[in-house]
Structure 1
Amino acid sequence: MALERAVVDGDVVCPLFVFDPSFYSGDGLACDARLRFLHEALTSLDTLYAATARQRVVQAAASSTAQPITATPLDLQTDPNSRTDGHGTTLEPPDRPGMTFGYGDPATVLSAFVDRGWSVLTMATPTSRYGKQRDRRVRQTCDDAISFLSGDGLVRDTERPRENWQSQIGTWLTGTQHVPQWDDAVGVALETGVTPALVDEGYGIVPTKTKVPTGTHRDAAAQLSGFVDRIQSYPRNISAPQDAREGTSGLSPYINFGLLSVRQVHQYVTENAPACRGRKMFTSRLVWNMHYNQKLVDWPGWTEQAVNPVFENRNEETHDPELVTAWKRGQTGFPMVDASMRCLRQTGWLNFRMRAMCASFFTHILQQPWWIGADWYHHHLIDSDVGINYTQWQSQAGLVGKPSQRVYNPRKQVRDHDPDGEWITEWVPELSPLPSESLDRPERTPLAVQENCGVVVGEDYPRPVVDFEARREAFWSQYERRRARAAQELGRPAIARRASFSGGYAAAKAIANEHGRNDDTGSGTQVQLAEIEEHLRADSPAGRATVHGDDSETAPAVDADAMDDETTIPTGSGQSAGEPSPDDNAVVSDALETPNPTNAGGDTDSDSPDSSREIGDEQTTVEQFE
């Protein structure tokens, strides 16, 4: 959008990217593999700009007062184009530059352009505290010479951003894509000495992760086309991690780094994929992508502060660095958790169910502060989106204040999604000699079997670092004491604005009215989906909060074995299994007017791979995580 506007308003256009050193510091929260992906994406974009008609390169001498950027402060000892790690071609610049690259404080760099008569157009994006502070400094420095354009479909600068939000998103998703028409505009690139390859080399970026995608527009287009060809199998591949690696879209890194836009993907899938349950599920997850990013637009504090003040500083008093380290290294004694955490660290990827399970385990069972785990994910995930990662962590940690909450049981996850041990033995190979039926609880393997297999639990693989059942009960006891007060807090407009439910303040107020208490008794009846839906319909504009599928079904009877499960309220089964809360279903129902998925492509409820009783609220499958 910014480029489209620039070529209309200006005679000379200079595409510019500024490398901010803050993101390369020890606190930058980005692994080398993600930084490399960014550098590849920028090199790819540079190549596209270089191929643009009417491109004209201007090179100013370093001493010229007309040159806003003279050089990078990075001290390189080697040729930045001489790669030794196998990624030379992806960082090789075009024969002539298509973009201008700067390095340094963005406010300083942009003000240098403004001082020389340039106007600056940039995009408004969802961002946390640092980004807000940076943008504020840029506005103060550049004054009215800079414009932040809102072109991502999200709602800004209004008191009630969720009012008619779903309708606006639906209109935006089907709207015309931005295609710049250069006409008489001339493209200019200043040779500053700064390139993605130089920055990559200067900071010693040497990724060690494996199975990482390449960040180019060509690879993004190929991934999108390939996914459409197999979209019908998507529903049955999202839950089991060994299936999800190749079975989900794999598009999230490309969307996160701007190689593809949500609207571009949505329209391509809608126009080219066959009408089927997979297409319905996937396009709904694109809407959830926007839903969670809208939350960050509405409140940038998601990255560092509990949404609900009742849960502020939760687990701070139980912080145990040794437990945190065991979780990060995949040495907890819970094989599904350990396999997932090792995969995350080695590949920068994890499907959503495993992300949610490990987050739940970290906060509810290990009882550690949520933000430590959220930062760890954000550091390692190639596709980490701030708006999704941190809002999901707060939801998994139970910091929002909704009356239902989930605690994943990692042992049940083994039985449900890796019964043959394919995933576990790949990432926890020391357990591969054990029979598959022992992999949910290897510490219970008979000593004779351990001896025959050559695996001694407690030596070759750790025993569980905590007592799962005791920790789970402790969490529920604490949560029940605070649940009513937390619901009450949602009735406050400021807290409702933080939570940013799709139903707006009316949805938050409905929860407060039904479940809020001013005392600490924790009394109140746990909410059912049908009840929330009724409140949303009563307190929201007509049509805002319909719920698809089976989400209004009440829980089946719970047997003894199911008590080893993780949920208090099943919020989906069959067709709706794997979907988030009624709040999020409301997002999809109004934004996408598509047929009932049970009638699309002949799929039925029984086809769902995700029909266990552990479906919770606002915490299940989101395609940006896949």
Structure 2
Amino acid sequence: MTSSDAPAVVWFRDDLRVSDNPALRAAVDSGRPVLPVYVLDDSGGGSRALGGASRWWLHHSLAALDASLRKRGSRLVLRHGDGAAEVEAVLRRTGAGLLAMNRRYSHGEQEEDHRVRRAAEGLGVEVSEHTGSLLHEPGEVLNGSGERFAVFTPFFRALTAAGQPREPLPAPASIDGWEGSVHTEDLDALGLLPTHPDWAGGLGEEWTPGEKGAHRRVDDFVAHRLARYADERDLPAAEASSRLSPHLKFGEISPYQLWHRVQNADAPADIRTKFLTELGWREFDYDLLESHPHLDTVNVHREFDAFPWADVDDRVLHAWQRGRTGIPLVDAGMRQLWTTGWMHNRVRMVVASFLVKNLRYDWRLGEQWFWDTLVDADPANNTAQWQWVAGSGADAAPFFRVFNPVLQSQKFDPAGEYIARWVPELADLDAKGRHEPWTVDGVDYPAPIVDLKRSRQEALDAYQRMRD
């Protein structure tokens, strides 16, 4: 095998796209034949094992990526096992001359990437690493003292003061695919889709995973929702959210593409900035993840280690998980999550507050449930948001900010439209009845599993005991 025959292996991870993919671009520009590889790693040695909803999404996203690569003259090799070991095996089998990859940021992922770099160097393989999933490398945005920001607003101000993000890279028109023989798994054999039972019907109705689906959703958002975003983003019935989070999570669209698309949209500057601020939170959360590698299990503010969580009643926890708490907005959100793999952000805060404060259950129980059921379950955002609600995270809401789910639904879903959609047994009631069905006789709906006023006070008392 000559050096020109030695392929450039592209290790795809959370960057399942061909446009604005710096690692793929580097491989194509190297002049070597290109071999794209994806490894499903359930070993726990690198990435956190995906939840069920994310596995469903991954199946369809990999199929879309393979189709896109084949149109350009390449293909996607699928492997299953320890990520570092499988990539090393591919490098050995193919005699690769280059390994290209976009960086990842969780503790396990970085350790795995370090193992791969060492293996590649031992084989004499050049390693090319790139920033493709974030607008900045964690730790690059620092305050005047050279330290990381602990508060979001000055972080975002410093991030944007650094100038506009780079322009997105075009997709390669063609790819010189490596034609040698290397083992690849069949996509169906990876077992990503649910079968017994197949609970994913609602996900299929709601989502189109893949790069094309991501860009269609961006087009729809910019054309029909962006103008309403600032005013209506907190209204769960208004459908003003972008719903781009799962596409970003799987890297079917890059933050650079999304930033410039919104920045160049025909919308007032304040509305564009409002949306771009949400991208800024994603950046902030990844900074937090790198500096707190066990963010999914360890409180950022360690005084919360002493918080007196309540003993878990499995029946109560199950009622929360399946939307049978007797609190309409909470139940609507949890049913939306179970059906579609997604929940409106305002409602996420409400259901999280209800679990952590009204039920006084450890935030980690909620984080794990979201990790398994969200299609956008992200190692930084999902955990950081739970710690934010619990009061234990960086720039978090204070613990004594307890969301009253009835007042929240009255304010942000005044007619109860969102509730009526996801809790249809309340749809025939008027607005008051939808918010407070316990005031209406003869409604086939559970009684509240907890008294909101009393449980709020008990949560505040527990917080005071922790402080004492």
Relative to the length of structure 1, the TM-score reads 0.62
Which AA in structure 2 matches 1:135? D
| 2:27–2:34 CA contact under 8 A, matched in 1 | yes
2-structure distance, mates of 1:367, 1:292? 24
Q: Which residue of 1 aligns with 2:223?
A: 229
| 2:333–2:344 CA contact under 8 A, matched in 1 | no
2-structure distance, mates of 1:224, 1:202? 26
RMSD: 3.0
Which AA in structure 2 matches 1:42? L
SS in 1 for 2:357: helix
Q: Which residue of 2 aligns with 1:30?
A: 51
2-structure distance, mates of 1:404, 1:104? 42
1:124 to 94, 103, 116: 103
Superposed displacement of residue 173, structure 1: 4.5
Superposed displacement of residue 18, structure 1: 1.3
1:48 to 68, 88, 103: 68
Indicate whether 1:300 and 2:320 are aligned: no
Q: Which residue of 2 aligns with 1:376?
A: 369
Determine which structure has more spread, i.e. the larger CA radius of gyration: 1
2-structure distance, mates of 1:427, 1:435? 15
2-structure distance, mates of 1:195, 1:7? 25
SS in 1 for 2:450: coil
Superposed displacement of residue 171, structure 1: 4.3
Indicate whether 1:356 and 2:349 are aligned: yes
> What pairs up with 1:175-194 in 2 under 5 angstroms?
175-179=166-170, 186-188=176-178, 192-194=183-185
Which AA in structure 1 matches 2:252? L
Per-residue CA deviation, residues 162-183 of structure 1 (Å, 9 max, x unaligned), is 3796545554753132347689
- Name the stretch that deviates more: 118-127 or 222-231: 118-127
| 1:154–1:169 CA contact under 8 A, matched in 2 | no
2:326 to 333, 347, 352: 333
SS in 2 for 1:16: strand
1-structure distance, mates of 2:397, 2:389? 13
Which AA in structure 1 matches 2:165? T
Percent identical: 28
Q: Cα gap change, 1:143/1:47 in structure 2, threshold over 3 Å: closer, same or farther?
A: same
Superposed displacement of residue 381, structure 1: 1.3
Per-residue CA deviation, residues 233-254 of structure 1 (Å, 9 max, x unaligned), is 122321121113xx22122221
Which AA in structure 2 matches 1:461? Y
1:20 to 5, 18, 41: 41
| 1:15–1:188 CA contact under 8 A, matched in 2 | no
Superposed displacement of residue 393, structure 1: 0.1
2-structure distance, mates of 1:180, 1:427? 40
Q: Which residue of 2 aligns with 1:261?
A: 254
1-structure distance, mates of 2:373, 2:265? 33
1-structure distance, mates of 2:57, 2:326? 33
Q: Which residue of 2 aligns with 1:39?
A: 59
Q: Which residue of 2 aligns with 1:162?
A: 148
Q: Cα gap change, 1:140/1:226 in structure 2, threshold over 3 Å: closer, same or farther?
A: same
| 2:332–2:423 CA contact under 8 A, matched in 1 | yes
- Name the stretch that deviates more: 290-299 or 160-169: 160-169
Q: Which residue of 2 aligns with 1:488?
A: none
Which AA in structure 1 matches 2:81? G
Per-residue CA deviation, residues 83-116 of structure 1 (Å, 9 max, x unaligned), is xxxxxxxxxxxxxx52222222212211113334
Which AA in structure 2 matches 1:47? A
Superposed displacement of residue 368, structure 1: 0.4
2-structure distance, mates of 1:148, 1:366? 45
| 2:330–2:405 CA contact under 8 A, matched in 1 | yes
Indicate whether 1:283 and 2:262 are aligned: no
Q: Which residue of 1 aligns with 2:165?
A: 174
| 1:315–1:368 CA contact under 8 A, matched in 2 | no
| 1:173–1:263 CA contact under 8 A, matched in 2 | no
Superposed displacement of residue 372, structure 1: 0.8
2-structure distance, mates of 1:14, 1:367? 50
Q: Cα gap change, 1:30/1:172 in structure 2, threshold over 3 Å: closer, same or farther?
A: farther
| 2:310–2:360 CA contact under 8 A, matched in 1 | no
2-structure distance, mates of 1:192, 1:161? 46
Q: Cα gap change, 1:136/1:317 in structure 2, threshold over 3 Å: closer, same or farther?
A: farther
Q: Which residue of 1 aligns with 2:451?
A: 467
1-structure distance, mates of 2:76, 2:163? 29
Per-residue CA deviation, residues 273-310 of structure 1 (Å, 9 max, x unaligned), is 33354322112212222111221122221111111111
Gaps of 5+ in 1: 56-96, 484-519, 521-626
Gaps of 5+ in 2: 1-21
| 1:273–1:279 CA contact under 8 A, matched in 2 | no
1:149 to 122, 130, 134: 130
| 1:161–1:298 CA contact under 8 A, matched in 2 | no
Per-residue CA deviation, residues 364-386 of structure 1 (Å, 9 max, x unaligned), is 11000111101111211112222
Superposed displacement of residue 156, structure 1: 4.3
Indicate whether 1:219 and 2:213 are aligned: yes
Per-residue CA deviation, residues 364-417 of structure 1 (Å, 9 max, x unaligned), is 110001111011112111122221110010010111376834210001022112
Alignment coverage as a number of residue pairs: 422
2-structure distance, mates of 1:149, 1:440? 49
> What pairs up with 1:569-580 in 2 under 5 angstroms?
none
Per-residue CA deviation, residues 143-200 of structure 1 (Å, 9 max, x unaligned), is 56445433433334779563796545554753132347689x8332656342434435
| 1:239–1:417 CA contact under 8 A, matched in 2 | yes
| 2:139–2:148 CA contact under 8 A, matched in 1 | no
Q: Cα gap change, 1:156/1:408 in structure 2, threshold over 3 Å: closer, same or farther?
A: closer
2-structure distance, mates of 1:138, 1:312? 35
1:135 to 113, 118, 129: 113
Q: Which residue of 1 aligns with 2:78?
A: 101
SS in 2 for 1:341: helix
